[in-house]
A = this chain, B = another copy of it.
Amino acid sequence: MTDQADSTHRATAGALTEPLTPQGHALLEILDRHLPGMASGTTAHDRDGTFPLDVFQRLGDDGVLGATVPPELGGLGVSSVHDVCLAVKRIAETDASVALSLHMQFSRGITMSYEREHGTGTGPALAERLLRLMGTKKALISGALKDAGVTTELVPAADGGWRLTGRKILVSMAPFATHFVVAAQTRPTSGNPLTASAFLPAGTPGLKAPDNWNGMGMRASASTEVLLQDCPVPASDVFVRGPAGVRNDAAMAGQTVSSIGLLGVYAGIAQAARDFTVTGIARHGGEPAAAVRTLIAELDVKLYTLRTALAAALAHTDHHAHRTTGDPDERGRLMMAPFQYAKLIVNRTAASIVEDCMTLVGGASFTADHPLSRHYRDVRAGWFMQPFTYADAIDHLSAHALGTDTAGGTP
């Protein structure tokens, strides 16, 4: 890489506009062909709360569902979290629900690639199996994280495998997924419970994912609940992690890698709202009112704030993602802090941008099917994204600043 090219990358990385890798570039080119078709259905899917399955099928035909799967397993080989986030942003400018769902797929490819290289036990083989399904079979894999009250559990089965029981909420794409990865705790006959993730095909007995999502926003994301009742899971289909209920700072590295790209959803919403609004005012011509000019300039200040903070946190994530030397707990903490800074910055500025745009556009934006109405409803989802509520983030970041987060212990 020449100095000149490097300089280009550095400069444009700040703007979150150009991919950093050739694979990221190829992904964006494919996506750009699909965006017009996606756009044609956005309003109706938002209104009706329906999942645009046809969009995912067409994206699958072009390999997008395996975008982050290594080429040798049939994927496009995108490995930069920055480039994943940029792709997610680009999609979200058209449809934030689709972007939310695809991010889950993209981040799965990246974390499974890491697991395949660095995992232990059943991990590497299972990860390779998932990646191959995504890369060659258009598998659509939903991640089920959040429990509805009770902890989802894996109980030892007579056949040496497990039985999975629980109830998950906010599982995007669930009614249309071909497979699931479900966070759970083991309840071993002896010893301490462990955190784990179970892999299940959609047809597994006892698994139900009713198509009844009715969100205020992200209405085309099918973020429903998933019911699990004694679902059989072979031993080879479970990733087993560390002891349950014990603080694990090292795990924050994986959480950062798998979640930070999601901020691209809100960056895309903000960008779309700003572009829609400013383009409209420019087209209208004439000398805008004093407050309009002030708001427009401040819109771009906000968008720059959002994009530069996010780009920096992504660069930081990409940098540390591939460094596996040193203290893994310290690495986890180092990665989480900029992610959380960026999350707060993105959530606040994106929401503020959308609100200012509605003020500029006026009453028309208050009708249910106006693009800004959709952005306004969608953008609020950012506050509820894993990991960390606002209160958790404040606890985490203040302890990080004061240096009181280094002692281990239960969370």
Contact = CB atoms under 8 A, between A and B. Distances in A.
Contact of A292 (B14, B214, B318, B391): B391
Interface stretch (A30-38, A102-110, A308-316): A308-316
Interface string A378-411: 0011011000011111111110111110000000
B345 A304 contact: yes
A248 interface: no
A43 to B, nearest CB: 12
Copies assembled:
4
Nearest to A319: B11
Contact of A312 (B14, B170, B298, B392): B14
A292 B290 CA distance: 8
Interface SS of chain A: helix
A368 interface: yes
Interface in A1-47: 1, 3, 6-11, 13-15
B10 A216 contact: no
B300 A309 contact: no
Contacts of A342: 304
Interface stretch (A54-62, A132-140, A359-367): A359-367
A246 interface: no
Given A7-B318, A377-B377, 10 more contacts: A14-B316, A15-B312, A282-B401, A289-B394, A290-B391, A300-B400, A304-B342, A305-B345, A307-B312, A362-B389
24 contacts: A10-B315, A11-B319, A14-B315, A15-B316, A170-B363, A216-B377, A281-B402, A288-B398, A290-B294, A290-B395, A291-B293, A292-B391, A294-B394, A297-B393, A300-B341, A300-B400, A301-B341, A301-B344, A301-B397, A304-B338, A304-B342, A307-B312, A312-B312, A358-B383
